[in-house]
Structures are given as structure tokens and as C-alpha cells.
Structure 1
């Protein structure tokens, strides 16, 4: 099971291909994002979590998607500028991708298979927490704030595990 996520490739915002094995050993919070969504202010809390835990082996991975209400229509260059300028985002943002449907990125297909086979992501800012060993610890709906005690407790537990 652990090899699953670490064999997946994704394209970073700058166009560089990255294999998720580069994150092996870190606790990951993976989020499908959008810049024109009611949940967009969650970028601020995602950055807060990243700053709080990054020195302990925690990463936030943002995957912009235009799949929900057309709320991420811009180019990746403008998306990253928006995130940095408005929310001080310094965690890794990847290229725009599909989070649902027949064209969904293999990462989201894998995450959904691990949590709820047959389910689709319902909206922007769904969150998936992955352990240092590459196991999904939990998934959270868009309405669950990144700093919700349920998420932070699971992050802290995940960081304590080897």
C-alpha cells in the first residue's frame, strides 16, 4: 500500500515533473484548490498549518482544479501569484489538474480508492491526510477548516509516528 502514492507523478506549478516519492517520510495534507471559491480563504489556514509543522516533516500539497463551478479559470502562473500575494502561500502548488471524472489525476483516484471507493470529490478544498508511510489517515470535506482540531490532532499523531 505504501508504494501506491509514492509512484504517482505530478507536475509542479513551474512545469517540473515530480514523483511523490520525494515526500516519502513526510505527513501530507493534499487539497484540491480554487481561487474563486467561497472556501478560498482556507489558503490562509493551510499556510498556517504548513508553517506550524513544516520543520517536523509536514507538507501541504495544493492541486488547483477548475472542475467545480469553473472556480479556477486562470493560468497556473496567475494562480500561484494570487496565492502568494493574497495568502502568503509558500507550500507546494502543482499545475491545474482534474480532481473528478474520467480525467481525474491518478493521485485523486488513489486517494478516493483508499478512503471511499466509487465516491467522487464533491467540491473544492477537500482534504486528504497521508501518513509518513503513505497511508491515508483521513479525508475531510470542504467545510472542515484546515485548523479544525480533528485535523490538527491527526497531523500531530501522524508526526509522532515513524
Structure 2
């Protein structure tokens, strides 16, 4: 099994096979419109604009599992992202990334790359630790997605090569993308 075996639903309700992205470098992200990390839409759009002509694509999957921070419809999310951040990369249907109803794509991504910790220098890292520790004191030892804007980097052959937590600086992500392009 690899990344190209999965189907997802686009923002129009159509089924899309990820095999259509063979040969591209992908960044897969779970997003939310009402999160402290929401300004990352702007950073992601800049990456997309800078590298899309070199075979780079961002696949965005809104998720409402983290403190109800993406309650809107996919149409409203797409409009919000376009108006506020100029987002032009694909935004897909809302999904769940954890739990019993987690999308099979995310079950696979988490199996391939588990949680490796937050960037402690990020101003929101301690707040995330506080929130997550209340629900699960052992949260650091399971592969679940911890929050919105967790990202997975996929190489041109469909391999999951890196997982970035929302606290990872965009410059670190950009360097890894450039290595794969």
C-alpha cells in the first residue's frame, strides 16, 4: 500500500484518486479556519506559488476535531481561505483525522510517521502541551494528529518522508520541499 492507493473527496464532492499526483511532491495538511495556526494558510500559499511549477502540490483537508475550529461547510471554508489568504491550492471535503472515523489516508499517514514532538521554541507549544496533557497525559507516545495544521511531506514516488507538527517553522518545511524537488 502507498499514498497513491487512496481516494479522497474534493470540495465539489467528487472522488479523487491520489494517483493523479504521481511524480509530484505533496504536502498534506489538516486545517481549520478558527485556529491560532490559521495564518499558516498564507505561508502555505506562498510555498505553493513558489514551487507549484516545479511539481509541488498542497492537499488541504479541513478538520473540525480540534476544539470545533472548522465548523463551516467546505464551501464557506474555501471562500474564507481565498478571501483572507489567497489560497489557490486544492481544499478537499472535511474529514476526521483521528479516532474510529479517521479517514483511511490519515490512518496510513500516522502509521508511516508518528508524533515526534513540538518545536518548543514556538510560542504555542506550551499551550498545546497543556491542552493535550489534560485529555491524555501520555499523548506524546501515540501517533495521533495532535492539532490543526499538522503536515505530511510526500516525495515524488509516493513515500511519506516527513511529518511536521503545527509548531514547525515554515522555513524548515520549505528546505525539505526543496530537497525533494
**Alignment-derived partner of residue 112 in structure 1:** 110
Aligned length in residues: 155
**Alignment-derived partner of residue 41 in structure 1:** 39
Runs of 4+ aligned structure 1 residues displaced above 3 Å come to none
Gaps of 5+ in 1: none
**Alignment-derived partner of residue 97 in structure 1:** 95
**Alignment-derived partner of residue 134 in structure 1:** 158
TM-score (norm 2): 0.83
**Bigger radius of gyration, 1 or 2?**
2
Gaps of 5+ in 2: 116-141
**Alignment-derived partner of residue 13 in structure 2:** 15
**Alignment-derived partner of residue 65 in structure 1:** 63
Contact 2:114 2:163 in 1 (8 A): no
Quote the Cα distance in structure 1 between the aligned partners of 2:112 and 2:144. Answer: 12
Contact 1:137 1:154 in 2 (8 A): no
Cα deviation digits, residues 73-102 of structure 1 (max 9, x gap): 011110000000000000010000001111
Quote the Cα distance in structure 1 between the aligned partners of 2:67 and 2:151. Answer: 18
Quote the Cα distance in structure 1 between the aligned partners of 2:28 and 2:61. Answer: 8
Question: Alpha carbon RMSD of aligned pairs, Å?
Answer: 1.1
Contact 1:10 1:19 in 2 (8 A): yes
**Alignment-derived partner of residue 79 in structure 1:** 77
TM-score (norm 1): 0.92
